[in-house]
Amino acid sequence: MNRPRPTLRRQVLGFAIGVCGLVLFFVGAALFTQNYRQTRARLSDSLRTTANIGASQISAAVAFGDAAAANDYLGALRFNDQIVAAVVYDRRRQPFVVYGRPPFPIDRMPDTVESDSAVLVDVVYQRETYGRLLLISDNTAELRRTAYAWITVYGLALGLASAVSWLLAARFQRAVADPIVALARTAADVTTRRDYAARTVVRGPAEVAALAEAFNTMLAEVGRRDEELARQLLALDKEVREREAAEATLRQNTRDLLRLSREAGMAEVATGVLHNIGNALNSINVSAELLGDRLQSQTHRTVTILHKLFRDPPPRAASVFDRDTDGADLRSFGLSVSAHAVERVEESATELVALRTAVGHLKDIVARQQDLAKSRRHAERFDLAEAVQEAFVIDKTAGRADSPAIAIERRGDGPPLVHADRGAVVQILINLLANARSAILAAAPATPSLRIVIGPATPTHLPLAVIDNGVGIPADQLVSIFAYGFTTKSAGHGFGLHNAANTARLLGGKLTVHSAGPGAGATFTLELPRHPPAPSP
């Protein structure tokens, strides 16, 4: 259980009384001891003086052996309250006259007396010693009176000191304790209510007033800092909310970018397929045209002439058919065969026309799809380094444990800005990074190295090189590395680099490759335009 702490006034009062009491105690004890010793010394001197006077008065009686005269003098000692006994010894050291009741045996005279309440003096008459006088006193009453007097004085002094201490404590209470108590109450109110606008009253001595002023200044500073902290907390909360919103927007943008990149990749694949289909349709159309021309010009003319020969033979041929026994049958057979051939050639020509019409229709469809794919591209000016970071985010192989670390180098001054389709560039970078990692994993070098070097820029283009120390590319494959369907991977399709090169050309740049040979790694360099194309006149 916590006991209530004493108040400052009580502590000051107790301290003042304690200090005064201790000072009075030690001073009074010293003075009492000194006065007590002085009183005992005074009483001892008074006893010796009395003894000397008495020895001189009874010297004649002792010298002449007059015990009655000596006894009369000793009887006069009853008027001295302090003397309780007296003994006169003769020359033989035997008691001559005795007064009162000595507190110790007096049968034989002592040699010395070691007490301040007894004195032994010589009885001398005419310069000759006839005996000794022993006076015994009781100083207890006198010493008790002295002690009582000092105790009374000390009590009065202690009371006076207590009164003075109380007055000093009251004055201290008004001058020091009350301002400090007010300061403590203000501090308690501030602690309880968090009201930093509260102020304490400045009063009291200079030190207490300075403390109150310092406390008020501290409260003002704490209030100012509390308001500033509140504003900072509001700003921090706002910033946190904005950052959370920005992170949510970034996550949504990342998802949208992933979706758009996937769609862009699918569009690139579809564009490549459409391009190849268009090439194949061109070949089919050319073959159909050649075949149609041949059927119309040569085959149709030949079978028509043959049919006309059997149907309306010239005179010389008609005479041959007529003379020969099998001529009529031969003419009939040739006529039917030529007629059938003419019919089939005409049907084939009709089908070729239909085929050419269908191929033209397919070419028109492919052309429209290619135009649609081209029209979806959106060229913009962006930082190529940021596109590299987006490729890192989208590329799923970048987070694998066996994926090598990537070092990015910047060469040249200024930001690496290009003008192209950002999504298409990101898709090209994803393809190049994936191929570089596959090459490094296949070669398994002791120190895998994958670097991306941006720059230096030319007046028109900005190069980006993807450099790896993977399996490398043989010299005979460098010419075919971007061809459609060519791949060095067992599970590859052969249209990734082909589409990347085509896309780079469509963006106004180009994609090149360099390799020193197998095991020497490869360098793919993507060059992109720095500025939009100049408008055509």
Single out the residue of 441, 419, 438 nearest to residue 524, CA to CA: 438
The pLDDT of residue 372: 47
Taking the CA of residue 194 as centre, how many other CA atoms within 13 Å lie in the half-sphere pointing to its CB? 2
The pLDDT of residue 534: 74
Q: Using an 8 Å Cβ cutoff, are 119 and 134 in contact?
A: yes
**Cα separation, 389 vs 254, whole angstroms:** 12
Q: Which residues contact 518 (CB under 8 A, 6 or more apart)?
A: 471, 472, 473, 474
Tokens of 198: 């509260």
The pLDDT of residue 453: 94
Please tell me the pTM assigned to this model: 0.36
Q: Using an 8 Å Cβ cutoff, are 480 and 466 in contact?
A: no
Single out the residue of 179, 175, 185 nearest to residue 213, CA to CA: 179
Return the number of other C-beta atoms located less than 10 Å from residue 53's C-beta: 12
Mean of per-residue pLDDT scores for the chain: 78
The DSSP letter of residue 4 is P
Question: Degrees (nearest 5) of the Cα angle 519, 523, 527?
Answer: 170
**Cα separation, 277 vs 181, whole angstroms:** 98
| Residue 108 backbone phi and psi in degrees, to 5 | -135, 140
pLDDT lower than 50: segments of the chain: 1, 372, 375
3-state secondary structure 253-290: HHHHHHHHHHHHHHHHHHHHHHHHHHHHHHHHHHHHHH
Radius of gyration, CA atoms only, the chain:
69
Return the number of other C-beta atoms located less than 10 Å from residue 39's C-beta: 16
pLDDT digits (tens, 9 = 90+) for 5-48: 666 666 766 777 777 777 777 877 788 788 778 887 888 888 78
The pLDDT of residue 400: 59
Question: Degrees (nearest 5) of the Cα angle 278, 284, 289?
Answer: 125
Single out the residue of 169, 222, 168, 171 nearest to residue 195, CA to CA: 222
Residue 213 to residues 201, 219, 311, Cα–Cα distance (Å): 9, 10, 137
**Cα separation, 18 vs 31, whole angstroms:** 19
Q: Which residues contact 274 (CB under 8 A, 6 or more apart)?
A: 366, 369, 370, 373
| Residue 459 backbone phi and psi in degrees, to 5 | -60, -25
Residue 217 to residues 186, 200, 220, 474, Cα–Cα distance (Å): 13, 10, 5, 82
Question: What does the domain layout of the chain look like in residue ranges?
Answer: 241-375, 379-529
Q: Using an 8 Å Cβ cutoff, are 204 and 8 in contact?
A: no
- Return the C-alpha torsion angle 177, 179, 185, 188, nearest 10: -100
The pLDDT of residue 375: 47
Taking the CA of residue 227 as centre, how many other CA atoms within 13 Å lie in the half-sphere pointing to its CB? 8
- Collect contacts of 271-275 with beta carbons under 8 A, ≥24 apart: 271/370, 271/373, 271/499, 271/502, 272/484, 272/495, 272/498, 272/499, 272/502, 273/495, 274/366, 274/369, 274/370, 274/373, 275/370, 275/502
Please give the distance of CA 184 from its chain centroid, rounded to a whole number.
Answer: 36
Domain 379-529 falls in which CATH fold? Heat Shock Protein 90 (3.30.565)
pLDDT digits (tens, 9 = 90+) for 293-337: 666 666 766 777 766 766 777 776 666 666 666 666 666 777 777
Q: 501 burial class (0-12, 13-18, 19+ CB within 10 angstroms)?
A: buried
Q: Using an 8 Å Cβ cutoff, are 450 and 467 in contact?
A: yes
| Residue 411 backbone phi and psi in degrees, to 5 | -125, 130
Tokens of 457: 């820029």
* Dihedral of alpha carbons 164, 166, 169, 173, sign: negative
